[in-house]
Structure 1
Amino acid sequence: MHIVKLNATTSTNTYLKEYARELDFKEDILVWTHAQVEGRGQRGAIWESEPGKNLTFSVFKRVEGFRADRTFYMSMAASLMVVETLEHFGVRQLAVKWPNDILAGARKICGILIETIIRDGLYGVILGVGINVNQKVFEKAPRATSVLLETGRVTDLNEVLDYFIKSFYKYAELVSQFDFARLHQLYEQQLFRKDKVSTFELPGGKHIAGVINGVSKNGKLILQLEDELLKEFDLKEIKLLY
């Protein structure tokens, strides 16, 4: 893997997308920045990160020949990469809040944003990862946490990145082998509030109760509603309240 380190950039995902338009990448590329001034999350959220305290990086991987309707398996793999990395550094009570926020207990410790590159079909994916490592105070995200807050120890960012890269290739291998059943199983084992009654918000503010049954192969959340029927929702259709 080729690693590029930047002092600052608007967004590592944006940086890689711009270069992917111009270059024909032959290898995996990871862009890591000391300061990301316009980090992005799901639903257009802004990612808060104190410069030099956390890991903010993006990885480009070519996936030519990979069916576009299977891209959520890359999201599953990315979530598992992060969970395994954080477990290694002593973080406990980890879970994946659908689709790919990583929680420690009920506090967010990592966000993942996945984007695709199209060139006469699916060409590559960019995994944008923000891991809170040594930050103590979160002014804009009061429900956030970090490796430091969870373990009481300052952790070397290079060590976390090195371990993530090992986990990246472990789970990317499952994707390349089309071992989707295994990925799906491992992902659902980590799914936050699976098989528990939870409250969800629909567009417009209506609240409903349901039980998370799992996730479909194309990434939709499967809920068992009060009438015991199963219904699928995408990210724009429902929000878990917790």
Structure 2
Amino acid sequence: MNIIKLDATPSTNDYLKALLTKQFVENFTVVTTENQTLGRGQMGAVWEVETGKNLTFSVLVKDVLPDINTIFHLNVLVAVCLTEVLEELKIPNIAIKWPNDILADNKKIAGILIENSLKSGGEIVSVVGIGLNVNQKNFDGLPKAGSLFGIVNREFDKDAILISIVETLKRSVALLQNKDYGLFWEKYNQRLFKKGLPMPFEDKDGLRFMGIIQGVTANGKLEVLLEDDSIKTFEIKEIQMLY
């Protein structure tokens, strides 16, 4: 396993993408840092972590997705891989909050940011960024954030978790290459946060409404059953769950 360890960098995703422009990079190469100064999540949201306490890393995944219509399959696979590793660590009440947050006891403990690029030959190259709160104890001003330590009150070996995640990802990607999508989607939907439960939402215009999550479409849109019995799909950042 090729692991590049950095003391600090603005973004592991950006570092890995820049490396790709300069040289050949082996599939599943990992870039990890103790201090990511400009980490970001979906749609530019900021991902801040305490130096040295958590896992912040990116993984190169290529030669997996056959076309741009299958991009969200990789999101599903990565989210499921994370939950499986966390369940092996005996972290309770794991859930996937659409589209790419991982929760434990209703606290966000991990986020995923996948950036895809289409090469001239049609190849899709993906940089999978993962932030996992491991041993951080304080989340002042972040009431919905948590860590593995905060959930089970013990410290973890970050390097061991990193290797476990990447090895699980490699095994799962082999199945994805065989177009065996169904198993990952089944697990994703089983773990989908608040699926089937009435809950309040807020749209991008600030309008609040009640709905019931039905699932997620193949291209990553959230399906919500509304009070008039219609089902509407929402893009990322078009809707916010109020929980």
User: How high is the sequence identity, in percent, across the aligned residues?
Assistant: 39
| Cα shift at 1:158 | 1.0
- Alpha-carbon distance between aligned partners in 2 of 1:236 and 1:65, rounded to the nearest angstrom: 24
**Tell me, what secondary structure is at the counterpart of 1:126?**
strand
Q: Which residue of 2 aligns with 1:237?
A: 238
Q: Which residue of 2 aligns with 1:35?
A: 35
Q: Which residue of 2 aligns with 1:117?
A: 117
**Tell me, what secondary structure is at the counterpart of 1:71?**
helix
- Alpha-carbon distance between aligned partners in 1 of 2:65 and 2:177, rounded to the nearest angstrom: 10
| Cα shift at 1:62 | 0.8
* Native 8 Å contact 2:19 2:25 kept in 1: no
- Alpha-carbon distance between aligned partners in 1 of 2:8 and 2:128, rounded to the nearest angstrom: 18
Note if 1:130 corresponds to 2:150.
no
Note if 1:174 corresponds to 2:181.
no
* Native 8 Å contact 1:56 1:129 kept in 2: yes
Q: Which residue of 2 aligns with 1:49?
A: 49
| Cα shift at 1:142 | 2.4
Name structure 2 gaps, 5 residues minimum.
none
Deviations 1:202-234 (A, max 9, x none): 111001111100000011001111111211111
| Cα shift at 1:140 | 4.4
- Alpha-carbon distance between aligned partners in 1 of 2:182 and 2:173, rounded to the nearest angstrom: 14
Q: Which residue of 2 aligns with 1:210?
A: 211
Q: Which residue of 2 aligns with 1:78?
A: 78
Q: Which residue of 2 aligns with 1:104?
A: 104
* Native 8 Å contact 2:65 2:71 kept in 1: no
Q: Counterpart of 1:130 in structure 2: which amino acid?
A: G
- Alpha-carbon distance between aligned partners in 1 of 2:143 and 2:211, rounded to the nearest angstrom: 26
Note if 1:191 corresponds to 2:192.
yes
* TM-score (norm: length of structure 2): 0.95
* Native 8 Å contact 1:95 1:104 kept in 2: yes
* Native 8 Å contact 2:28 2:170 kept in 1: no
**Tell me, what secondary structure is at the counterpart of 2:111?**
strand
Deviations 1:88-133 (A, max 9, x none): 2221000000001000021100011110022113431111000000
Given the superposition, is the C-alpha separation of residues 88 and 64 from structure 1 closer, same or farther in structure 2, using an over 3 Å criterion? closer
| Cα shift at 1:163 | 1.3
Runs of 4+ in 1 over 2 A off after TM superposition: 21-27, 139-142
Name structure 1 gaps, 5 residues minimum.
none
- Alpha-carbon distance between aligned partners in 1 of 2:155 and 2:26, rounded to the nearest angstrom: 36
Q: Which residue of 2 aligns with 1:68?
A: 68
Aligned residues: 242
* Native 8 Å contact 2:211 2:225 kept in 1: yes
Q: Which residue of 1 aligns with 2:225?
A: 224
* TM-score (norm: length of structure 1): 0.96
* Native 8 Å contact 1:80 1:171 kept in 2: no
**Tell me, what secondary structure is at the counterpart of 1:183?**
helix
- Alpha-carbon distance between aligned partners in 2 of 1:177 and 1:197, rounded to the nearest angstrom: 37
- Alpha-carbon distance between aligned partners in 2 of 1:65 and 1:162, rounded to the nearest angstrom: 23
* Native 8 Å contact 1:53 1:135 kept in 2: yes
Q: Counterpart of 1:158 in structure 2: which amino acid?
A: D
Q: Which residue of 2 aligns with 1:17?
A: 17
**Tell me, what secondary structure is at the counterpart of 1:87?**
helix
Deviations 1:168-187 (A, max 9, x none): 12321221111112211111
Deviations 1:48-97 (A, max 9, x none): 21111000000011136621111101000110111111112221000000
Q: Counterpart of 2:42 in structure 1: which amino acid?
A: Q
- Alpha-carbon distance between aligned partners in 2 of 1:73 and 1:26, rounded to the nearest angstrom: 22
* Native 8 Å contact 1:63 1:125 kept in 2: no
> Once superposed, what is the RMSD of the aligned Cα atoms?
1.4
* Native 8 Å contact 1:118 1:124 kept in 2: yes
Given the superposition, is the C-alpha separation of residues 63 and 240 from structure 1 closer, same or farther in structure 2, using an over 3 Å criterion? farther
